[in-house]
Amino acid sequence: MAVTFKVVPGGGVAEEEEKTPAPQASVDLIARKTLDGNFAIFDHLDIDVVVMPEKNKVLVLPKKEMTEAVYEISNRLFDYMRKQGVILPDSVQGGNVYGSLEGKYVAEGVGADSTQAVIYTISKFMESEKPYFMWNAAHKAEEEERLTSPDERSSTEYDPDLHEPKKGSVPTGPTYRYGGTYSIYE
């Protein structure tokens, strides 16, 4: 904390602590600061977002495989940032990693730290995506419940009289030779 001195009327010197401005907003993100000073944000189910303050760049990477849905999410993020005015619209392009998108933001914002503004905007986007996360988790749980514990309409009881001992087109048993090859001449 910096200490400043203020000259007081009457010839004395008073010590005064410099007050740190209170934060305007705070966000909770699952994020890490990398060794090279970048911020990696892992809040989304399908994408990872890397904010690079030295390059003034935002990079969006798919978590697993690149699909049309992942591209749509990345595109929605950049559209959201463009509408909020934190990304340069003409800088959004495909990245050098397969399935990634990247865009630049201004180096110095007017009245705000541009990197903080970008991270805040990304957190608001992640917040707006939470209903999607919740629906996806509920859908998966419902599907698992449907498959593991079916109701009366979706299940049948096992009846051994309805099943024949031998079914299908490939015979089993003595018609197989050594090594598992099938012979029709036996």
| Per-residue model confidence (pLDDT) at position 1 | 41
SS3 52: strand
| C-beta separation of 106 from 115 below 8 A | no
Phi, psi at residue 15, to the nearest 5°? -85, 135
Residues near 145 by Cβ (< 8 Å), separated by ≥ 6? Answer: none
| pLDDT score recorded for residue 118 | 92
d(CA 131, CA 57): 28
Q: Is the pTM of this model over 0.85?
A: no
Q: Look at residue 59 in the predicted model and tell me its pLDDT.
A: 96
CB 88 within 8 A of CB 103: yes
For the chain, 186 residues long, give each residue's pLDDT as a single digit of tens. Answer: 444 445 555 555 455 556 666 777 888 888 999 999 999 999 888 899 999 999 999 999 999 888 888 899 999 999 999 999 999 999 999 988 888 999 999 988 777 788 999 999 999 999 998 888 888 889 999 999 988 888 888 877 777 777 777 766 766 655 555 555 655 555
Quickly list H helices, 47-163. 68-84, 114-148
Q: How far is CA 131 from the centre of its chain?
A: 14
Q: Where are the chain's structural domains?
A: 31-138
Closest CA to 48 of 137, 126, 111, 107: 126
List, in order, residues 6 or more apart from 50 with CB less than 8 Å away: 34, 38, 39, 40, 41, 58, 59, 60, 61
For residue 32, the model assigns a pLDDT of 92
If one counts every other C-beta atom within 10 angstroms of the C-beta of residue 80, the result is 17
Per-residue model confidence (pLDDT) at position 16: 54
Distances (CA, A) of 177 to 133, 165, 168, 174, 186: 54, 21, 19, 7, 9
Calculate the CA 179 to chain-centre distance: 49
Overall fold of domain 31-138: Gyrase A; domain 2 (3.30.1360)
Per-residue DSSP letters for 91-102?
Answer: G-EE-SSTT-EE
CA gap 79, 159 in Å, rounded:
58
**pLDDT the model gives residue 157:** 79
